Chain A
Amino acid sequence: EDQVTQSPEALRLQEGESSSLNCSYTVSGLRGLFWYRQDPGKGPEFLFTLYSAGEEKEKERLKATLTKKESFLHITAPKPEDSATYLCAVQAVFQGAQKLVFGQGTRLTINP
């Protein structure tokens, strides 16, 4: 069964304090690993897709990396506006369609 576990559940940082969020996964045949950002009361906003081990992608203060068992979302010198819940998901294909299997998310708070 496809499974995604994110840690920590919640993380509180000071502005400028870099850190990493973890996403561990088990999936039969990885098609893609996705990171989304979700603000309170809103839908998930797409950030990155990673397809193979060793791949990295960057966007502003965020950098996502992928190994065969986990992905990290590194946040460098974060600002208060980076506060959000970050969701990790693996893509699975079934019955000719696709779906995302999500972790529970990491709730990130950046204090000024």
Chain B
Amino acid sequence: ETGVTQTPRHLVMGMTNKKSLKCEQHLGHNAMYWYKQSAKKPLELMFVYSLEERVENNSVPSRFSPECPNSSHLFLHLHTLQPEDSALYLCASSQAPTPDSGNTIYFGEGSWLTVV
């Protein structure tokens, strides 16, 4: 039990489908993250919500849309994806940083996405 729960663990979707990934954290944190992990590439940050405000990340295509209804829940809405979007999508949470220091980021088990 990591304290960060992701569903579904596995998802196969067609390029015209709309689906969503869900994340819930039970750690009392106030920042949540989506990371993408592709084969042979480092983990890449997609989105951050800190103190319930979204921090923009301009390098993420608009076919990925995050939603953070409260500090415990985070969604990633998927629409018109491409096969190259197949990857492990990891949710994480932490306390928001202070001006002097950051805080440990804890990860969920991930959602394996295959786009066909």
Contact = CB atoms under 8 A, between A and B. Distances in A.
A16 interface: no
Contacts of A95: 55-56
A97 B48 contact: yes
B45 A42 contact: no
Interface of A: 4, 31-32, 34, 36, 41-46, 49, 51, 87, 89, 91, 93-105
In this complex, the interface size class of chain B, counting residues with CB under 8 Å from chain A, is 20 to 34
Interface in B70-116: 90, 94, 96-97, 101-110, 112
A98 B31 contact: yes
A25 B103 CA distance: 19
A87 B56 CA distance: 25
Contacts of A42: 109-110
22 contacts: A4-B42, A31-B97, A32-B101, A34-B104, A42-B109, A43-B2, A43-B6, A43-B109, A43-B110, A44-B90, A46-B106, A93-B102, A96-B97, A97-B31, A97-B48, A97-B55, A98-B31, A98-B97, A98-B102, A98-B105, A101-B45, A102-B42
Contacts of B45: 99-101
Interface of B: 2, 4, 6, 31, 33, 40-43, 45, 48, 50, 55-56, 90, 94, 96-97, 101-110, 112
Contacts of A91: 102
B90 A104 contact: no
A25 B90 CA distance: 23
A46 B102 contact: no
